[in-house]
A and B are shown apart, each in its own frame.
Chain A
Amino acid sequence: MSERLWSTLRSVAPPVVAIAVGLFVGALLMLSFGFDPVRGYVALFRGSYGSPEAWMESLAFSTPLMVTAITFAVGMSAGLFNICAEGHMYMGAAGAIAVGGMVSLPPGLHLVAATAAAMLVGGLWALPAALLKMWRGVHEVVSTIMFNWIAFWFVLYLIRFHITDPGRAERATPAMITARYPVLGGSLTGVIFVVIAFCVAIYFLLWHTGLGYELRLAGDNPDAARYAGVSFRRVILLTFLIGGLAAGLAGGSQILGRPPSWTVYATLGNLLNLGFQGIGVALIGRNHPIGAIFAAVFFGGLAHGGRFMEYEVGVSAEMVGAINGIIVIALALPEILRIVKRVRAVKE
């Protein structure tokens, strides 16, 4: 076996072991409640990846997660624990509705403008937390948690009073036909291509530009970065901006690219937690922009396939959630350990 193959295998091994451990513990859980784990997993994975239709639904669930994962992954690369994706995503959705649902523009341009609005609003929402961090040293975990809540209530207020669908109290104005991504099948729309392109662009920014190098250096080795004259303020601003654009796109993708509603419900029910799930996706994807794409596909598969476990095998919804959670934790563990190790090293 050549060295190269061996080293590839070694980097693949942790997630493979993690999947096996996660599936095994999940199986024990099913067994202890009297369900057949083989039938359960077959239903789960056939439901999520067993047919073209299943793929389309799973990918629809994974689309927003790809970009909310970017928010966390880029933060991690720069050594920031940025958990603001949830709030940016709400704001991005509101931006998408404001332009996609309330302004009339020619086809094509409308879609571009609405998508850009979603990203810009998400990006702007990142500024306060970024400035607080840059100039006052406010820790991003504290500030972003608070900004998430501000965004939550602000968007609820907007839905209630400013972007309301007249006659439909339960939701905001839907995106106009001209501001909707074409449906590829089922719930999947063309917005997935924009999302993947964004992930790839972030990969190039991080690994093939000087700016990206500075960002990663600030995260990997702050002392070296300082020595090399990297501006930490610039890194913070860049990190937050990318995070805001990414999460804003995630919010926009649910408005402009998710049938049948093409809008946000007054409960925010179709947005809730997509930002926080992005953290798990980023951890599984080892905080890599391309890894995030694959991890999101896996996550979306669990989100969609779980219902088949319930439908075909009778596993209760709560248990499906628990089994999915175990698999996710097992998968995220290698990356969590790596982060802990790195934080320790930086402290020493």
Chain B
Amino acid sequence: MSMTVGRSALAIFVVLLIVVGVGGYYIDPDPDSGFDPEAGYDDGYDDGYDDGLAEVPPDTDGDGVPDEFDACPTVAGLPEYGGCLKPPKITVVSDVGGRGDLSFNDMAFKGGEEAETDFGVEMIEIISSTEDDYVPNLRLGALDPDVVLIVGVGYLLTDAIIQVATDFPDKDFAVIDGFAPGMPNVMSILYEEHKGSAMVGALGALLAAEYDYPYIGGVFGIEIPVLWKFEIGYKWGVNWAMQWYEDTYGTPAPGIGATPMKERVLYTYTGTFSDITKGYLAAVPMYEQGAVAVYNIAGPLGLGINDAVNELAEAQGLDSGPPFWIGVDANQDWINPGFVVASMMKRVDRGVYLATQLVIEGTFRDVVEEYGGIVVLGVGTEVSGVSISGISVSTLADLDEFIAMGARAEELTGTTILPGTPSEIRAAVEAMRNAVPDWIWDAIDELAQEIADGTAEVPECSFGCDIDSYRDIYG
């Protein structure tokens, strides 16, 4: 008896398993998606993937628009029959930093959200938990016929983008900070970090002059050519500021101006992008020697610099700097209101927004061809005649959107991130900015203008550059 029960139970399970297994191939998970399981992922393109469908749909009136779409309204940038389709999708694939990094990845997603509002696309966030996820995560979007653009956030994804973009020549890809020139369907979006670093270098030097400090500082991550770009730009900015002060006021700058030219910037390569303690350890002696501000060029190590500043502030009972630190990538002014004088902002969000805009307007591939695949965003830059900046010194105007980003990260991570209510933060940052004399901010604006119109040329030292020759000049 029990044997029979066992047998029938077994038989039922085997049948169930077969049903689940076979059913998996033929049940349409989302009847609205237009996905036809028997046809596979048909993207309507002749891309070499056998999806079992005729690649050319019937078009009896010969107007180039398939019959089933003849009655559709036209939408700019989409295929002519775009009006009948669902909103196009973009996928944004993070690096292993993921959501809530308050920097790179969060900014990319922010750009995608803005594109959703302005262009009616739907953004799908894909988080990579290990480096092995990059290729399959990029392929997710490549396989989805509704996806028009796949964005990889960060140069870590460069190799993966090249691989997937080669496999899917009909899809458009963008990679932030990556360098993948010469592919018709890949836009590499790079930033002029040296120019932004020059501006915050000038800002720091003028603060040192104003408050009579002998130095400014910089905490760097691992010494790689990309970081030389920041280092030399920063040092160049200090020199520009000293020259500007002398030209404007007729005397050498006080404080830092008395320090020999090649010794004005205290800097340390910590050898890490993750060990926050090393950021603290590097910053403490800089402040002790008299650095008015320390520039964070090591991602999360900024939190270590922040600890060093907080210690000084507590010991001396300060509500606001000096001493300051200077943020990087995102607007980090809200992290410690009153002590982050400004941030060198690299607008990753603008890059994602731009790529989406070009795809929707239908000019993506033309722009890729025009620029050989490499689009550079910086100070006063233009892309195909449209001005779009990717580098700037943070202002009060853009603070709110980054406070909102912090609030979002609080939701996602379940930890307290914002140091106060948004209005408190805003008030403290505003008070700090007002306490810094106007002539300093005006000087920074002047430098931005000179950089934009080409009268000031910031040296760019990156891959293949002889860093020592620059250090001979700038220290």
Contacts and interface: CB of A to CB of B under 8 A. Distances in A.
Interface of A: 1, 9, 13, 16-17, 19-20, 23, 38-39, 41-43, 45-46, 49-51, 53, 57, 61, 160, 167-170, 186-187, 258-261, 265, 267, 269-270, 272, 304, 307-308, 310-313, 317
A61 B129 CA distance: 14
26 contacts: A16-B14, A20-B13, A38-B29, A41-B20, A41-B24, A42-B23, A45-B24, A46-B24, A46-B37, A51-B40, A57-B136, A160-B271, A168-B224, A169-B221, A169-B222, A186-B135, A186-B167, A187-B135, A258-B132, A260-B134, A272-B130, A307-B133, A310-B126, A311-B140, A311-B144, A312-B30
Contact of A53 (B30, B134, B139): B139
B427 interface: no
B416 interface: no
Contacts of A270: 130-132
Given A13-B10, A20-B16, A39-B30, A308 B140 contact: yes
Contacts of B132: 61, 187, 258, 269-270
Interface residues of B, number: 49
A23 B20 contact: yes
B17 interface: yes
Nearest to A316: B127
B222 A307 contact: no
A261 B159 contact: yes
B432 interface: no
Contacts of B223: 169
Interface in B33-90: 37, 40-41, 49
Given A23-B20, A260-B135, A307-B140, A42 B27 contact: yes
B162 interface: yes
Contacts of B96: 267, 269
Q: Which of B49, B140, B221 has the most CB of A within 10 A?
A: B140
A259 B136 CA distance: 11
A307 B27 contact: no
Contacts of B131: 261, 265, 267, 269-270
Nearest to B127: A317
B415 to A, nearest CB: 16
B140 A317 contact: no
Given A9-B10, A41-B20, A312-B29, A169 B136 contact: no
Contacts of A1: 7
A115 B363 CA distance: 47
B124 interface: yes
B139 to A, nearest CB: 7
B273 interface: yes
Interface in B123-172: 124, 126-127, 129-137, 139-140, 143-144, 156, 159-160, 162-163, 167
A69 B189 CA distance: 42
A314 B126 CA distance: 11
Nearest to B463: A167
Interface of B: 7, 10, 13-14, 16-17, 20-21, 23-25, 27, 29-30, 37, 40-41, 49, 96, 124, 126-127, 129-137, 139-140, 143-144, 156, 159-160, 162-163, 167, 221-225, 271, 273, 463
Secondary structure type dominating chain A contacts: helix
B225 A167 contact: yes
Contacts of A38: 27, 29
B10 A259 contact: no
Given A57-B139, A186-B135, A267-B96, A260 B40 contact: no
A19 B19 CA distance: 13
Contacts of B130: 269-270, 272
A42 B136 contact: no
A20 B11 CA distance: 13
Contact of A317 (B16, B30, B129): B129
Contacts of B49: 53
A307 B129 CA distance: 11
Given A259-B163, A260-B160, A270-B132, A169 B24 contact: no
**7 nearest A-B pairs in the assembled complex, by CB-CB distance:** A260-B159, A169-B222, A45-B24, A39-B29, A270-B131, A260-B163, A169-B224
B220 to A, nearest CB: 11
Contact of A50 (B14, B24, B124): B24
B188 to A, nearest CB: 15
A20 B134 CA distance: 31
B273 A169 contact: yes
A50 B23 CA distance: 11
A310 B14 CA distance: 28
Contacts of A51: 40-41
Contacts of B124: 311
Contact of A170 (B16, B137, B156, B225): B156
Nearest to B135: A187
A258 B131 CA distance: 11
Contacts of A46: 24-25, 29, 37
B221 A16 contact: no
Contacts of A313: 29
A9 B9 CA distance: 12
A16 B10 contact: yes
